[in-house]
């Protein structure tokens, strides 16, 4: 069985998870994996501590177990199709990977045949993030001093990698979930 691996990325609170779930719910027999499930525990020594904020930096690759995520993806892809597939007559299956740093980790970026990146403004991102509950919770100034600057740094890395950049479809995060879904669904079909 062949796999169509779809990546959905963008800044925090850009709608990645909602879009990925909508795709997963509407593409029969698809698999969805979220990068958020690979955050390291708070007691992990790999975390980068920000003394000024008395808080860890959760916005960088070292806060995630990316090698485990990659290994899990490969294990699923290499498993016998009948272990995961309902319809063995299909020519391919969709594997949807969503996360804010999936394209900054080359092994996963290279697996993604369809790459999407949702863009939103700093103001929109900040307003949406204020409505979310995080564990551990954001400390004051975390968004302005860490979240947004790290996002800009990670996006810059993507842009500077011209081979990667030209393979990504950038989506306007101000559009509705249905509009974003329609763009991807149309390209998949």
% helix, strand, coil for the chain, step of 5: 45, 20, 35
Separation between Cα atoms, residue 93 and residue 75, nearest integer Å: 15
Spot the catalytic one: 29, 36, 172, 182: 36
Task: Give yes or no for a cis peptide into 176 (omega within 30° of 0).
Answer: no
The Cα-based distances of 188 to 4, 18, 62, 97 in angstroms read 9, 18, 32, 15
29 annotated active-site: no
Active-site amino acid positions: 36
């Amino acid at each position: 069985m062949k796999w169509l691996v779809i990546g959905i990325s963008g800044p925090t609170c850009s709608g990645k998870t909602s879009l990925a779930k909508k795709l997963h719910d509407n593409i029969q027999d698809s698999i969805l994996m979220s990068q958020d499930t690979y955050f390291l525990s708070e007691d992990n020594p790999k975390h980068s501590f920000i003394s000024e904020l008395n808080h860890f930096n959760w916005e960088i690759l070292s806060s995630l177990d990316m090698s485990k995520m990659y290994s899990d993806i490969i294990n699923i892809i290499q498993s016998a199709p009948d272990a995961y597939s309902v319809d063995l007559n299909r020519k391919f299956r969709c594997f949807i990977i969503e996360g804010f740093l999936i394209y900054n980790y080359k092994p996963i970026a290279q697996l993604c045949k369809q790459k999407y990146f949702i863009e939103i403004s700093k103001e929109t991102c900040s307003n949406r993030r204020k409505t979310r509950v995080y564990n551990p919770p954001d400390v004051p100034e975390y968004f302005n001093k860490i979240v947004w600057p790290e996002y800009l740094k990670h996006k810059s890395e993507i842009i500077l990698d011209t081979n990667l950049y030209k393979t990504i479809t950038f989506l306007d995060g101000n559009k509705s979930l249905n509009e974003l879904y329609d763009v991807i669904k149309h390209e998949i079909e």
